[in-house]
């Protein structure tokens, strides 16, 4: 599961970067910070044991799915290329989250879920402006 999901996440990054180039956009200068923070959070979750780590993955994928659906709602219906990318990413994230939950992922406490949402909002809003 982990290798396949990791390969798909790399694909997602590549698809987004390629699409941004096609649209003459750019990635955020904050991306290295987000990658470092994500790695640290993942390492911390992993140190808490398998059930907690899988629960963290399941919740992360749930929140990413929500974020992608928000993008899809705001995306122009004319942009079929971006829509196809976001739809495939959404399906992949749903599958990753379901797999983590089926492997015994423990639901996270509500305060942790809320902290993750707040952090996600900070990251996405910061990326839009910087």
CA–CA separation, 65 and 59 (whole Å): 10
Residue 38 — very low, low, confident or very high, per pLDDT cuts 50/70/90? confident
Could you read off the pLDDT of 58-111 as tens digits, one per residue?
999 999 999 999 999 999 999 999 999 999 999 999 999 999 999 999 999 999
Q: What are phi and psi of 76, to 5 degrees?
A: -60, 135
- Choose between 75 and 5: higher pLDDT: 75
Provide the whole-model pTM. 0.89
Across 28-55, average pLDDT: 91
Percentages of the chain per state (helix, strand, coil), in multiples of 5: 80, 0, 20
- Choose between 99 and 130: higher pLDDT: 99
The whole-number pLDDT of residue 1 equals 62
Across 7-32, average pLDDT: 93
């Amino acid at each position: 599961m982990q290798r396949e999901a990791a390969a798909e996440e790399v694909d997602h990054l590549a698809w987004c970067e390629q699409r941004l180039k096609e649209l003459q956009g750019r990635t955020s200068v904050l991306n290295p910070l987000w990658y470092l923070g994500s790695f640290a959070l993942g390492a911390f979750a992993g140190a808490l044991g398998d059930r907690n780590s899988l629960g963290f993955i399941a919740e992360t994928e749930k929140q990413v799915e929500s974020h992608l659906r928000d993008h899809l709602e705001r995306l122009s219906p004319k942009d079929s290329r971006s829509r196809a990318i976001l739809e495939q990413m959404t399906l992949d994230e749903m599958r990753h989250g379901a797999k983590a939950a089926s492997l015994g992922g423990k639901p996270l406490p509500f305060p942790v879920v809320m902290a993750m949402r707040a952090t996600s909002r900070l990251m996405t809003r910061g990326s839009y402006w910087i």
